[in-house]
Structure 1
Amino acid sequence: MASNLSLRSILEANKLTSPNFLDWFRNLKIVLKQENKSYVLDTPIPPVLVDDASGKDKEAYQHHKDDDDQAACVMLASMTLKLQKQHEHMDVQSMILYLKELFNKERRTERYEISKELF
C-alpha cells in the first residue's frame, strides 16, 4: 500500500487545472496502471445484471464497478474543488470524455487567439 500512496502523491502534487490536463491524464494513467485499474479508462461498466445472472458474472460486474468507483475517487481527489463539484456524480469514462471536450475547446480557443495576434 505504501507504493500506491507514493504514486498517488504525483496526482496530489499536480492537481488538475485547465492548462495541465494532458500531464494530469498521463499521471492518472500511470497511477491506475500501477494499481491494476487502468482498464476502467477504456472499458465501460457492464450493464446492470439481472437477478438470475451467474455468480461469476455478478462478481465480475461488482469488481469492475468497485474499480471504477476507486478510480473516480482518485480522479476527483486530484482535481480543483470547482472541477470536483462538476464531476462528483460521474463515472470514470464520463469524466474523461467531458474533461477532454472541455480542455480541447480551451486549447483551440487559445491557439486561435495566438494565431490571430500573429497575423
Structure 2
Amino acid sequence: NGIGYLRQSYFHVNRKSWTWGISLVDPKPTRKKMSKNPLTVILDNNKFIGTNYTDWLRNLRIVLDYENQGYIMDKPFPQTLPDGSSSEERETFERWHADHCKVRRNILASMPNVVYKQYDKLDDVALILQSK
C-alpha cells in the first residue's frame, strides 16, 4: 500500500554508547511479505469458511508438511515436561511448543474474521480441528 510510519530504534553498541536510527515500517505487513513459505498462498486463497473443512484441512496439511510441522496435527499436546528430562527431551519439547504456536497461527490466519472469532480462544490445535 506504500503507506508507512516512522519507528525509532535504539541500539546498545559494544556496551559503551547508545545510538538511534529511524526506519520506515509497513503498519500492516501481509502474510505474503512475512512468510518464507510460498505455499501459504494456498491458505490465503482457500480460507476455512465453515463449510469447506475437508478441502481446507487438506490444504493446511500440504502447507504444514512443507514446513515439517504436520506432526502437530497428529500428536497430542504435551502439557508438561517431566522432572529429570534430558536436554534432548527438553529441546524436543520446546521445539514442539514453538511449532504448535506457528501451526495455530497459520490455522487462525486461514480463517475469515467471522470464523476466526469462534476459534480464537482455543489454545490447542487439536481442539480447533475437532471443533469444526
- TM-score for both structures, normalised by structure 2: 0.67
Q: Which has the larger radius of gyration?
A: 2
- 2:104 corresponds to: 72
Task: Decide which structure has greater helix share.
Answer: 1
Q: How many residues align?
A: 97
- 44-53 or 72-81: bigger deviation: 44-53
Once the 2 structures are TM-superposed, how far is the Cα of residue 52 of structure 1 from its aligned partner? Answer: 3.2
Cα RMSD after superposing both structures: 1.5
Partner of 1:24: 56
Please identify runs of 4+ aligned residues in structure 1 that moved more than 3 A.
Answer: none
| Cα distance in 2, alignment partners of residues 61 and 44 from structure 1 | 12
Is 1:93 aligned to residue 126 of structure 2?
Answer: yes
TM-score for the superposition, normalised by structure 1: 0.74
1:34 aligns with 2:66: yes
Which is strand-richer, 1 or 2?
A: 2
| Structure 1: distance between partners of 2:92 and 2:119 | 25
What stretches of structure 1 of length at least 5 have no aligned partner?
100-119
Alignment equivalent of 1:10, drawn from 20, 37, 42: 42
* 1:30-75 Cα distance to aligned partner (Å, 9 max, x none): 0000000000101012231145322111111111111111000000
